[in-house]
A and B are shown apart, each in its own frame.
Chain A
Amino acid sequence: MHKSRWSNIIFYVGVVIFIAIIVFPFYWLIITSFKPPEQLWDIPPTWWPSRFYLGSYIAAFTERPFLTYLKNSIIVATSTTAFAVFVTSFAGYALARLHFKGKNAILALALSVSMFPGIAIVSPLFLMMKEWNLLNSYIGLILTYTTITIPLSMWNLTTFFRTIPADLEEAAKVDGASPFYTFIRIILPLAAPGIFTTAILVFIAAWNEFLFALTFNTEDALRTVPVGIAMFPGQYTLPWGDISAASVVVVLPLIIMVLLFQQRIVSGLTAGAVKG
């Protein structure tokens, strides 16, 4: 009895240490964002703001084009999500249900594309975007992000469509409905949870992408959040307060989203891994 109480305590101490290590960088980010300028350069650094200073937040939104970065990221990430999910809902259904040759080849192709390193295609894509006048545009990024998220999205949705019982479609078929009609009116509504999960994963991937955003959109007015924040640093002194404030604004909604949809995200991420 005594022994198990001690092992219990050790267990909880271990868990607390793990959580502390995970959370600490966020704690540091948040207190840095509220530190008044003179306190940012304290040696040794102080672990709590002497007063809650909002100047860094105001500066991030007014003196820096952070609002523009946010707008760009929202446009690019939501459009990508809409396109990728739209396109792969059709593809996923066809791959899960319809009979035609080459289905496995298409799935294998998508899987291998998901392994492509971005750097392996960035040079020709840059030239293509240049030829098509799509550098420094939303469309160039949306097109690229849609493509790189299609494999993940297609696999997830194909797996999900397969879990929907086939009886419903057979019943519709007996009623004389075409496969397309069955898909739109019967299957899609049932697949809504899977589509939603896929949409979250695609959105996060598009929101966080860096390499293509960095190389395609070099004008400040068209930069996305990850690039904007990486480029925030001024020439000589780093504006840590402003960077931290901007980061908090980006990170908080993501944290809330992750906490709300935790189970969906985990099931979406692990579906492929566990089934092999």
Chain B
Amino acid sequence: MQKHRGIRSTGIPENILGYLMVAPALLCILLIAIYPVFRTFSLSLTDMKMQFPNMAKYIGLDNYISLLQNDRFWSATYNTLFFTVVSVALELVIGFVMALIMNMPFKGRGLVRAAVLVPWAVPTTISATMWKFMYHDQFGVINDILFRMGFIDQYQSWLGSTSSALWCAIIADVWKTAPFMGLLLLAGLQTIPAELYEAATVDGASKVKQFFRVTLPLVMPTMLVALIFRTLDAFRVFDLIFVLTGGGPGNSTETLSMYAYTTLFRNLNFGMGSAIAVLIFIFIFLISLVYIHLLSRQND
């Protein structure tokens, strides 16, 4: 036991050791995440162009003022909100149904639980590519299925039409993430003690009543946390749009992240692109505040 005493005799006080052990992780976060946020903000106050980084000059809030007067910015904001609200709402409903099913005892339940994880694990660019081919106006299987079932009388250009392209993105997103939502909700359902249902049955409560009086209130905290994750994820949607439509046709699927990317890396306008990024950040911050407020009310 010589070794013990040797290490002990170096005698690092516990709190210093604590800071030392946390330091590498904290340094990474500060350098690669926190500092860049401030630098994005300072970039957004300049007219920096990537081709001439040294000619950037301070222009105050001009980028923000011109963004707020720009229809393309508002259309991207609308697309992002529409995409977020519709896809998260669908994911919640479908995910809840999946969770209720997976919470019942039946043959093959293990297989179902494994299957629902697969879309989550696949890179979004690959699942988006799969959907892009399925949506294809001539060789796409979705046209084939809908045509055979009699829902359409001729093949449609789903991704090429401004009225359907954003819905295509929503469907592909729901396919990928509703199962994930289902798994999170299932974990919440499993924490509800069976005695509560037994007691409710003894009291003569119907299944529907049990759902609203027992299941829903008890699963609510888990549901709110799952909703936070999904809402913030949906709000910053990028990979899916990049592959599926590139923001088109006619900017009809351009989300804020896509707009920021185009401004930054295609137009090389780092000042303006950073201003869009800051606004996305503020939106996300506000959404988080709303959810945190709901969560803390839930806990009271």
A residues with a Cβ closer than 8 A to B are 11-12, 14-15, 18-19, 21-23, 25-26, 28-29, 32, 40-45, 47, 87-88, 90-91, 93-95, 98-101, 103, 106, 109-110, 112-113, 115-128, 143-144, 146-148, 150-151, 154, 175-181, 204, 207-208, 210-211, 214-215, 225-227, 229-230, 240, 243-244, 247, 250-251, 254-255, 257-259, 262, 265-266, 269-270, 272-274, 276
Q: A119-B236, A226-B239 are in contact. Are A250 and B130 (CB under 8 A)?
A: no
Which of B81-89, B133-141, B160-168 lies at the interface with chain A? B133-141
Set of chain B residues within 8 Å of A247, measured between Cβ atoms: 126, 129-130
CA distance A18 to B278 in the complex (A): 39
Contact with A along B217-253 (1 / 0, CB 8 A): 0000110011001001001101100110000000000
Set of chain B residues within 8 Å of A44, measured between Cβ atoms: 143-144, 147
Tell me the interface secondary structure of chain B in the complex.
helix
Set of chain A residues within 8 Å of B239, measured between Cβ atoms: 210-211, 226, 230
Q: Are B277 and A270 in contact (CB under 8 A)?
A: no
Q: Are B1 and A175 in contact (CB under 8 A)?
A: yes
12 extra interchain contacts, Cβ-Cβ under 8 A, other than A120-B280, A124-B274, A178-B7? A12-B106, A41-B138, A106-B22, A115-B284, A127-B43, A175-B1, A176-B1, A177-B4, A229-B123, A269-B184, A274-B188, A276-B299
Q: Are A28 and B133 in contact (CB under 8 A)?
A: yes
Set of chain B residues within 8 Å of A47, measured between Cβ atoms: 141
CA distance A179 to B133 in the complex (A): 56
Of the candidates B4, B121, B235, B257, the one whose C-beta lies within 8 Å of that of A258 is B121
B142 CB to nearest chain A CB (Å) = 10
Tell me the interface secondary structure of chain A in the complex.
helix
CA distance A43 to B143 in the complex (A): 10
Q: Are A106 and B116 in contact (CB under 8 A)?
A: no
Of the candidates A11, A181, A215, A273, the one whose C-beta lies within 8 Å of that of B265 is A215
CA distance A26 to B31 in the complex (A): 40
Q: Are A210 and B242 in contact (CB under 8 A)?
A: yes
A185 CB to nearest chain B CB (Å) = 10
B residues with a Cβ closer than 8 A to A are 1, 3-5, 7-8, 10, 12, 14-19, 21-22, 24-26, 28-29, 31-37, 39-40, 43, 53, 98, 101, 106, 108, 112-119, 121-131, 133-134, 138-141, 143-144, 147, 175, 179-180, 183-184, 187-188, 191, 221-222, 225-226, 229, 232, 235-236, 238-239, 242-243, 256-257, 260-261, 264-265, 270, 273-274, 277-278, 280-281, 284, 288, 295, 299
Q: A28-B134, A266-B117, A273-B222 are in contact. Are A22 and B179 (CB under 8 A)?
A: yes
What are 16 A-B contacts with C-beta separation under 8 Å? A25-B175, A28-B141, A91-B24, A91-B25, A95-B22, A98-B15, A117-B277, A120-B281, A178-B4, A178-B12, A179-B17, A229-B129, A243-B133, A247-B129, A266-B187, A269-B183
Q: A22-B175, A229-B125, A266-B113 are in contact. Are A94 and B288 (CB under 8 A)?
A: no
CA distance A110 to B4 in the complex (A): 34
Set of chain B residues within 8 Å of A100, measured between Cβ atoms: 14-16, 18-19
Of the candidates B18, B235, B277, the one whose C-beta lies within 8 Å of that of A98 is B18
CA distance A244 to B128 in the complex (A): 12
